[in-house]
Chain A
Amino acid sequence: MVRVVVADDSVLLREGLVRLLEEAGHEVAGGYGDAEALLAAVGELAPGLAILDIRMPPTHRDEGVRAALRLRAAHPEVGILLLSQYVEASYAQELLGAGQGAVGYLLKDRVASLTELDDAVERIAAGGTVLDPEVVAQLIGRRRDPLEALTPRERDVLQLMAEGRSNPAIGAALHIGVGAVEKNVTSIFGKLGLEESGSDHRRVLAVLAWLEGKA
């Protein structure tokens, strides 16, 4: 069970989200209509995770992203999940650049499914990274040429790795064994010239850094 606070200016969506979270067995400590209210409450409520919409009052632009960065600076122990009607790879990069993991960025449609929402909440609360497949697709789209070297299977594995999935989760998604996943991962890291690192989160960062062209 994770203690969650939610900020979304649409009451309709906020209530739906709260219901789904409670359904999944999490505790919703507070729901807010804008980012400022959430930021003010975090210190007292000490949640494990804050879920933020990106477009919120007063300007309905990128309040959620800016609030997330402030939250990360003030309370690094609180996990962050950004939800939005659209995804923009540069927001994900800002979020990831702000610190060590425990962040997520998903399209709102993904969390309509109870299992997906629950999965994301659990993974972020455990310190992992969760990225929407569309964010990853945007990032992968940028580095077309070097990725030609990968087999289609390796590309699937790369995509799932960048979304923040663990080896067992990747195996389950592709219906292959963990051993096969590991072999693919080793091959990908070899082809892209990356060093393998222990934790899932550091692996995500390495892959993302490469996709951004920084490694």
Chain B
Amino acid sequence: MTTITDTTTSATAPGFWRRYGALWKGAPRELLVIVALFVIAQTAVGIGWGLFSAGVGLLPVFLLGVFVIVAALYAARGIGWLNLVLIEWTGRPRIPRPVWRREAGFLGWLRSMFASPHYWLYLSYSLLPQLVLSIVSFTVAMTCLGIAVGGTLWAFWAWSLNGLERNGGLAWLIERWLGVDGRLLEGVAYTVLGLLFAFLLPFVTRGLSWAHWGLARLMLGSFRDEELERQLAGAQASRAAAVSAEDTALRRLERDIHDGPQQRLVRLQMDIASADRRIGDSPEEARALLASAAEQAREALEELRALSRGFAPPILLDRGLIAALQSAAARSAVPVEVVDGIPAGLALPPELERNAYFIASEGLVNAVKHAGATQVELRVEADAARRLLSVTVRDDGRGGAVPVPGHGLAGLEERVRGLGGELSLDSPESGPTVLAARLPW
């Protein structure tokens, strides 16, 4: 039922054309955002400079000027936010937002506005760098688009120029220098140029979109220490969650032991004691009591085994992750292929193996139970250099999986985050579903 394939190196790298196609998929959105950013920058410059210079001018009328400057800062923050949202919408990575502190009281509020480097960075972003960048990127993008569309479609509109460009056009130059009729050559040149620019267009839009992202990251993003602070808070939260989850699990285990095997062992003791007392005068009764004692002992063992099954399968401890996954795959009702990408001789920490096992088996259960899969692939790959273990569960089920709070997938997400890793889920309607976890160690 199980097939084991050993691939330490993945063979299927996406081809150039596939990547190029993906580039094109993002291009319309990127173009739209470049235009939008251009329009916003024009407006923002007006608002920003207007309010700021008015505020400075009104400073002699003390409070009024301060308020106008505060308005300029708020406006800059709003515009910056809008830019960030638009840039991220094109698919660029999320830029960590700054921490906007606000102190209590009126003076505290003013102080937190004027002392915050972020407000001033946002304002200066709108006042000059973003204006320059958006004009440049708009011009470049529109030129490329124009040549791409105009050149490629040259054959369809050239007739309308008939005779108009006789002195000065490309055809005219070709005729003068080469002494041949330039009309056709000109057409070929335009079309080739158009096709070239059409080919390059997605690279250009992607590049410009990255330029916008870069400037925004520099001026609108959070600072490094803020980022660290936030990560620390996140780590503390996830550790607290892990601790409390462990606490709950321990408490449940304690109760399960108390309600189950412990009761049975107490009863066993009683049965043996009574049997001991009766063995002289009533051997028959004693025998019945001993039989009951044996039954209690058997049940106690059964319960203990059921409890320990909840931790991790013994084979995981005995033979490691791959053997345990193969065993789980063999028990599964649908065919499962286990792909072993752990370099030979690499020993993973037991804690990591345990978590990887749970993620894989949870994914397997989901694939079989909820996705109605008929074929599942479990892939485990360890990158020793980057100290990264990846677990991928791919099934051919019906797809459309979303993490619902309190359910398996959301629980998995929490577990993975608690380990400092990341979980990704790709599950389009009608499948296939790919669940991937990357765990550091």
Q: Which residues of A contact B (CB under 8 A)?
A: 54-55, 61-62, 85-86, 88-90, 108-109, 112-113, 138, 141-144, 212-213
Contacts and interface: CB of A to CB of B under 8 A. Distances in A.
A213 B332 CA distance: 13
A208 B327 CA distance: 16
B146 interface: no
Interface stretch (B94-102, B107-115, B315-323): B315-323
Contacts of A138: 331
A112 B1 contact: no
Q: Which 9 A-B pairs have the closest CB atoms?
A: A61-B318, A62-B318, A213-B1, A109-B301, A86-B314, A88-B315, A144-B333, A90-B327, A109-B298
Nearest to B302: A109
B321 to A, nearest CB: 14
Main SS class of interface, B:
helix
Given A109-B298, A112-B298, A142-B1, A89 B319 contact: no
B386 interface: no
Given A85-B305, A86-B305, A61 B298 contact: no
B291 to A, nearest CB: 10
Contact of A55 (B313, B318, B333): B318
A144 B1 CA distance: 12
A85 B301 CA distance: 9
B333 A112 contact: no
User: Which of B302, B305, B317, B318 neighbours the largest number of chain A CB atoms within 10 Å of its CB?
Assistant: B318
B152 interface: no
Nearest to B309: A86
Contacts of A62: 318-319
A88 B298 contact: no
Contact of A61 (B1, B308, B317): B317
Contacts of A143: 1
B318 A89 contact: no
Contact of B315 (A90, A142, A212, A213): A90
Given A86-B305, A86-B314, A112 B297 contact: yes
A200 B96 CA distance: 70
Contacts of B326: 90
A112 B302 CA distance: 13
B175 to A, nearest CB: 79
B59 interface: no
Contacts of B318: 54-55, 61-62, 88
Contact of B319 (A61, A141, A144): A61
Interface in B217-238: none
Contacts of B313: 88
Contacts of A55: 314, 318
B309 to A, nearest CB: 8
A135 to B, nearest CB: 12
Contacts of B128: none
B402 interface: no
Contacts of A213: 1
Nearest to A84: B314
Interface in B257-302: 294, 297-298, 301-302
Interface string B311-346: 001110111000100110011110000000000000
Contacts of B308: 86
A138 B331 CA distance: 7
Contacts of A85: 305, 314
18 contacts: A55-B318, A61-B318, A61-B319, A62-B319, A86-B305, A88-B318, A89-B330, A89-B331, A90-B327, A109-B298, A109-B301, A112-B297, A113-B294, A141-B333, A142-B330, A142-B331, A142-B332, A142-B333
A6 B396 CA distance: 49
Given A86-B305, A86-B308, A138-B331, 8 more contacts: A61-B317, A85-B314, A88-B318, A89-B331, A90-B323, A108-B301, A109-B302, A141-B331
A62 B333 CA distance: 26
Contacts of B327: 88-90
A108 B326 CA distance: 24
Nearest to B329: A142
A48 to B, nearest CB: 28
A23 to B, nearest CB: 14
B330 A112 contact: no
User: Which of B301, B302, B308 neighbours the largest number of chain A CB atoms within 10 Å of its CB?
Assistant: B301
